[in-house]
Structure formats: C-alpha cells, structure tokens
Amino acid sequence: MIPFNSLVLFGIAFFLLVVLMRTIQIVPQKQVKIIERLGKFHRTAEAGLNTIVPFLDSVRATIDLREQITKIEPQPVITRDNVTMEVDAVIYYLVADPVRATYEVQNLPWGLEQLTLSALRNVIGQLDLDHTLSSRDSTNTQLRAALDSATQQWGVKVMRIELKNITPPEEIRLTMEKQMTAERTRRAVVTTAEGEKSSAILRAEGQKQSQIVNAEGAKEAAILAAEGQAQARLRVAQAEAQAIQLVAQALGTAGSPAQYLIAQKYLEALGQISTNAQKLVFLPYEASGIMASLGGIKELLQAK
C-alpha cells in the first residue's frame, strides 16, 4: 500500500509538470502565436522560446508567416459576350498582420476564395471570349489588384493570382479548332504562293541575266567578226596595192597601172557574160575601145 505522503508528492509533481508545460511555449521559425489573457488579446509570441502565465494566458491561434497557396476549384464564369466558361485559379498570399488575420476574419482561406470568385466574375464579365483567352497576364494583374485592396483590412498581402485553366463550352471549342485549322491552311497557302512568286522572280532574273550574257557574247562575236573582216579587207587591199605597185614598176613607161586593171576587169566581165549567155555575143559600143584595150594588153604582155 502506497503511503499518503507519497501520493501527495506525486500529485504535486504532476501538477508542477502540467504548469511547466503550459508555461513554456516553443514557436517554430516563420510562425507566430496569438496569446490571449482571460479571453482578450495580450501579445504575439514570436519564433523561439516563450513563457506564458498558466491558467490566465492561452494560445488563440498559430499563424504561418510563409507564402501560402489557396486553390480555387473550377467555377462557371460568364463573359461579356454571354459565353459560360469554367475557370480555376491559384492564389499566393502572405499574412502581413497576424492579429488582424485572426480577429478580422473568421475563416481566412474561405474568405479569400469567396473574394476571388467575386473578383473573377467581375473582371471576366467585362471581357469577351477572345480577350479572356489571349490576355491572361492582364486578367491576373486586375484580379491581384482587386483582391489586394479587399484583403488589406484582414492583414493579408496577395502576392499574385494565376488563372490555370480556362475551358470554353464544347461547341465553342470545336468552332475555335476549325477556325485555327482554317487559319493554318490560309497561312500555308500564302507561304506557298510567296515561295512560287520568289521562284518565278528568280527564274525570270536568271533568264534575264542569261539573255544579257548571250547578247553581250553575240555583240562581242559580231565585233570580232567585223574587225576580222576589216583586217582581211585591209590585208587584201594592202596586197592589191603592193601588186599594183609592182605592176607599175614593171611597166615603167610602157603602160599605165589603171589601164591594166581596167583591162583585167573587162576580160573577167566578158568571161562571166560568155559563161552565163551561150547564144549571145556582146561587143563594146565603140570597136576602137576594145581594140585599144587589146592593144594595151598586148603591150603589157610584151613588156613582161
């Protein structure tokens, strides 16, 4: 049987242990505890070791000072052009004033969710479907500004709000897919046409350059041919001039080189006439003229 004194000592030790446990409060980092004395706010216990008066003080709430995340489940929202969409979002916020966050709102996460839904309907209700889908950044900025001004009295700072999914109705989604397909087809046709245009321009430029090169080649060939003919004629003329000069030197005073050339051309012409006309005989207008020419040829032959 345990003595009465031992039971008393055990009871006192247990009471002191309970008092000690209620006196010492250890607060983790980035957290605070709201301490009330006799049901009224007394002070804020910061991170570390804190002591309170047992049976007089009590911990009302423990507030996390880190950035917190609240998810908004998909909600139906109507746009300005009367399209009902389902939108979900995520809110990132900080508790800037733990006292106000404890005493100014009953349920902080639920209050933030309701404020977000109200702001979401107001902001998206001012936009049509196309702007809602294409301007998420501006929508996020407007929502954050609206929530931040509304939650200041709660001691909460809304850091940002992100729209996750914007789901239009099925018929609108099918119409958008058809429109997207048509736009891509149009871009493909435009790209193909631009490619064919560039190809045709390049081919035309190539043909133009080829014709220019061919024309320049033909021009240079004609110039070279003309220069060749001119040089050939010049050489022939020089050779004939030298031959005439030699004939003149050989004749001396017996005859004139001009008479020799005239007689030579005359005989060549007569040969051609006799070849082409078999039954015709041509005589000079003056018989003395041909006799004189024959006499000149005779003298030239005798002089040789």
- Tens of pLDDT along the chain (304 residues) come to 556 677 777 778 777 777 777 788 888 898 999 988 888 888 988 888 888 888 888 888 889 999 999 888 888 888 888 888 888 899 999 999 999 998 988 888 888 888 888 888 888 888 888 787 777 888 888 888 888 888 888 999 998 888 888 888 777 777 767 777 787 888 888 888 888 888 888 888 888 888 888 888 888 888 888 888 888 888 887 887 777 777 667 665 455 566 666 666 666 666 666 665 555 555 554 445 555 555 555 554 555 4
Q: What global pTM score does this model have?
A: 0.54
**Which candidate, 31, 7, 283, places its Cα nearest to that of 294?**
283
Residue 27's contacts (CB-CB under 8 Å, 6 or more residues apart) are 33, 45, 46, 47, 48, 50, 62
Query: Residue 23 contacts by C-beta under 8 Å, 6 or more apart in sequence?
Result: 51, 52, 53, 54
- Measured CA to CA in angstroms, residue 84 lies from 7, 77, 125, 193, 199 at distances of 73, 6, 10, 40, 49
Phi and psi torsions of 161, nearest 5°? -135, 135
Query: What CATH number labels 68-168?
Result: 3.30.479.30
φ, ψ (nearest 5 deg) of residue 87? -130, 135
**Half-sphere exposure of residue 125, counting CA atoms within 13 Å on the CB side?**
8
The H or E element spanning position 266 is helix 257-276
Nearest Cα to Cα of residue 161 among 67, 229, 40, 45: 67
d(CA 234, CA 36): 130
